[in-house]
Amino acid sequence: MDGTLRVRIWKGGADGALRTFEVPHRANQTVLDVVTWVQRNRDPALAYRFACRVGMCGSCAMTVNGVPRWTCRTHVSRVVRGDALTIEPLRNLPVIKDLACDMTPFFEKWQAAHGRFVPTAGRTDPPVRMAPDSPHRRAVDAGIECINCAVCHAACDVVAWNPDYLGPAALNRAWTLHNDIRDGARAARLRAVAGDGGCTNCHSHQACMQVCPKALNPTAAIAGLKRAVAGAVLRGRL
Amino acid sequence: MRAAHLFLAQRISAIILAPLVLVHLGLIVYAMRGGLSAAEILARTQGSALWAAFYGLFVVAAAVHAAIGVRTMIAESFGWRGRMLDGLTLAVGLGLFGLGARAVAAVVL
């Protein structure tokens, strides 16, 4: 494949601007390939983040033609409009420089939602038996493949409107742990996700589900948390 | 957990409102297509405990549901938080209840 892409890339911090580069269009070229080509051949100071290049680490997410995507697995041919590509940092996170965002608020919300496993057994205890087809295990399976790329966080309108909202990724994580029968902090976690910035803020727009590169459905996870919270309130546990 | 209680109150009020709204809309169509006059409508509603209970419940559910909905919209659109938001929620809820209760009283008393 020949030709030239006209690529507009965000340069600077929050008050930066788009700068246009001409990039050779190749077959099987990913958006991350384009950004890397620009850094190596046109703008060595261009800041961006990546690690694995194979869709595992979740570090290369950017906004491509207005939609948040994992750039290492996004082929240019799938998203290019004519010969134009616009690449910006993720929405809903502070911009450090160019295409690199500060992920601190994202992971702070992960912590605020008690997104860590709290074991109830020690290393000398026998492993807990959990049937693969049990409802709890299936609920965990549905959300466990999250790679923390923050694509859903960037796509979520409620995060944009309410900076305190924990967001789809943190709540999806909370839901997987809520269904983990080995976990010992489910009551505290449910209280954490039932608060002012919690799951009840979700409007079920499902943008998170639409953009998730791992095809997860955080909206369904949040709906599960809403049911759990409502049940806890009715039983007087919240 | 105030957010959780507000969430539940809005969901429960929605469940109550759904059938009431359908009956209300059906009633409007029936009254208008049947050509009932104001006097004929009032003759059916005045002194009726059934219509007082129906529209009384309607007004309470609508006041709760709308006040919490407006609260969310104001918080998300203008970033209001805390007491100012609580005050607005209460004012909208009481205002809607007052207007609704006045209307119900006018047709059933």
- Write a three-state SS string for A35-73: HHHHHHHCCCCCCCCCCCCCCCCCCCEEEECCEEEEHHH
Cβ-Cβ contacts under 8 Å for A226 (sequence gap 6 or more): A199, A200, A202, B7
Q: Is A223 on the interface with B (CB under 8 A)?
A: no
Does A60 share its domain with A131? no
Determine the 3-state secondary structure of A207 from DSSP.
helix
Of A125, A128, A222, give the one whose Cα is nearest residue A170. Answer: A222
User: Is the per-residue pLDDT at B103 higher than 80?
Assistant: yes
Q: Which residues of B touch A198 (CB under 8 A)?
A: 3-4
Query: Which residue of chain B has the CA closest to A157?
Result: B76
pLDDT in tens, A110-144: 999 999 999 999 999 999 998 999 999 999 999 99
- C-alpha of A91 from chain center: 11
Pairwise CB contact (< 8 Å): A194 & B1? yes
In chain A, where do the E strands start and end? 4-11, 17-24, 61-64, 67-70, 84-88, 95-97, 100-101
| A168/A209 Cα distance (integer angstroms) | 9
Q: Tell me which residue in A158, A194, A232 faces B3 most closely, judged by beta carbons.
A: A194
The length of chain B is: 109
Q: Which residues of B touch A200 (CB under 8 A)?
A: 3-4, 6-7
Determine the 3-state secondary structure of A111 from DSSP.
helix
User: Is the per-residue pLDDT at A70 higher than 60?
Assistant: yes
CATH number at residue A56: 3.10.20.30
Does A162 share its domain with A215? yes
Window 162-201 of A: residues touching B by CB (8 A cutoff) are 162, 191, 194-196, 198, 200-201
Does A97 share its domain with A112? no
Cβ-Cβ contacts under 8 Å for A238 (sequence gap 6 or more): A190, A191, A194, A229, A232, B1, B4
Residue type, A201: N
Does A57 share its domain with A36? yes
pLDDT > 70 in chain B, percent: 99
pLDDT in tens, A157-177: 999 999 999 999 999 999 999
At A115 the pLDDT is: 96
Does A219 share its domain with A130? yes
Cβ-Cβ contacts under 8 Å for A156 (sequence gap 6 or more): A92, A165, A167, A168, A205, A207, A208
| A48/A79 Cα distance (integer angstroms) | 19
At B35 the pLDDT is: 84
Of A224, A204, A208, give the one whose Cα is nearest residue A216. Answer: A208
At A238 the pLDDT is: 85
The ipTM assigned to this model is 0.85
Report the domain count for chain A: 2
Pairwise CB contact (< 8 Å): B7 & A200? yes
Does A86 share its domain with A144? no
Domain's final residue, options A70, A101, A132:
A101
Does A193 share its domain with A143? yes
Q: Taking the domains of chain B in order of start, what are their residue ranges?
A: 12-108
Q: Which two structure tokens, joined as six digits, stand for A99?
A: 């295409």
Domain's final residue, options A55, A84, A101:
A101
Query: Which residue of chain A has the CA closest to B6?
Result: A200
Cβ-Cβ contacts under 8 Å for B54 (sequence gap 6 or more): B20, B23
pLDDT bin (cut points 50, 70, 90) of residue A1 is low
Does A97 share its domain with A108? no
Does A131 share its domain with A226? yes
Pairwise CB contact (< 8 Å): B4 & A230? yes
* A37 close to A76: Cβ distance less than 8 angstroms: no
Domain's final residue, options A101, A128, A147:
A101
Range of the domain at A70: 4-101
Does A109 share its domain with A134? yes
3-state secondary structure string across B64-79: HHHHHHHHHHHHHHHC
